[in-house]
Every structure is written in C-alpha cells, then in structure tokens.
Chain A
Amino acid sequence: EPEVTQTPSHQVTQMGQEVILRCVPISNHLYFYWYRQILGQKVEFLVSFYNNEISEKSEIFDDQFSVERPDGSNFTLKIRSTKLEDSAMYFCASTPQGANYGYTFGSGTRLTVV
C-alpha cells in the first residue's frame, strides 16, 4: 500500500536553529499538508499546499514557517528559528483530491528543541 514517508524520524535541534522536515507524499496525490501534535494534545492543522502554492494556513503557521515542493516528489517544512514550544510531532499528509476524501498521514518527525 502506498505510504507517505517522512524523514528524519527524530530531530534534535538547538533553540534558534533552522530545521527542515522532509516528506515524500504518495506519488499521484495532489494536496499536501503539515500538521503538528504537541505531546498529549490534539493534532493541529498547520498548512495545506496545492498546485505549487499554499492554499490554507492556520494561525500557528507564522513567518517562522515555510513550505516548499522543491522537486516532483519532496514536500518540506522549514522552521527558520526554532523555539522550545516548537517541540512536537510533525505529520505530513497527502490526499488525491482534497480533504473531503480522507488523508494518508506519514509516521511523523519528532522535533525536540533544546
């Protein structure tokens, strides 16, 4: 069964450093998303991406965050200057036709900011 692949599985970074989280969505999917889950809390929407541009973003997705699809397969989330409160699981997801058709999530990247 096709999977959404995320790397790395765990990233530890110093506060103030930049991190890039990587995702390979399912190949024929058109919509891509990033979500995060702070330990013990809800999964929260960050951003959606379609047709090579951001479609929607939440209040969490401020100027410190950016997304990119640098080639035909990768989808990245960059955090420019990490803060302690950015520590969370970050999940990438993709869908073939948009959110009304369910998502396939990756296994996540655990980001720890120290």
Chain B
Amino acid sequence: GESVGLHLPTLSVQEGDNSIINCAYSNSASDYFIWYKQESGKGPQFIIDIRSNMDKRQGQRVTVLLNKTVKHLSLQIAATQPGDSAVYFCAEKEPGGGADGLTFGKGTHLIIQP
C-alpha cells in the first residue's frame, strides 16, 4: 500500500545552523500533513501542520513546505538548539472523516552538535 517515507534516518547539524528534514509521501490523495517531534521516552509532540491547499506555513522557528507536484514535505528548523535533538516524524491523512487515522513515516533522528 501507499506509505510515507523519510529520506534520511539521521541528520547531524551544528548548533545555531538551520536544519531541513525531508519527507516523501506517496498517497496523492492525502490532504493534511503534520510534523511531530518525539523525544526519548515521550509521545509525539505536534510541531506544525499544513493542509493541501497551502504550499508553506510558518511557526516559531519552524517552516513546513509542501510540494504536491513531487509529493514532498519538508520541515525547516531555524537556528537549531540542543533541545531540538529528537526524532522527527511526518504524518499524513487522507480526505475523510475526522476520526481517520494518520499514517506516519519512519522518522529522522536530528542530532544537534555543540
């Protein structure tokens, strides 16, 4: 079946640098996407979401870009801090009822080097 996948399992960046985490999705019908951060021993924490009628959405230090043409989603984190070290998941949802589940990618481990 269709699935969400991540290009890089591990990404290491210097503190203060910007980081970009990528996600490829294969279900062209998906209309809602979310980025989650998961720290060790904790549940996924919502970072930012985007709907398919948008190309870009910005939050505090984070930006999500959606390219529906190539079915690609990215998360940009500006001026990375040690607290940004975590596993980042993208998730997608097909159109439908509000009770439908999300399909998660495998995750990218972001490591912030001092």
Query: Do B100 and A56 have beta carbons less than 8 Å apart?
Result: yes
Interface residues on B, range: 20 to 34
Q: Which of B36, B51, B99 contacts A56 (CB 8 A)?
A: B99
Main secondary structure of the interface of A (DSSP, over half): strand
Query: Do B104 and A44 have beta carbons less than 8 Å apart?
Result: yes
Query: Do A103 and B102 have beta carbons less than 8 Å apart?
Result: yes
| Chain A positions within 8 Å of B91 at CB level | 43
Docked Cα-Cα span, A48 to B103, in Å, equals 13
Query: Do A104 and B42 have beta carbons less than 8 Å apart?
Result: no
| Chain B positions within 8 Å of A99 at CB level | 32, 93, 98-102
Q: Which of A47, A55, A103, A108 contacts B97 (CB 8 A)?
A: A55
Interface residues of B (CB under 8 A from A): 32, 34, 36, 41-46, 49, 51, 89, 91, 93, 97-107
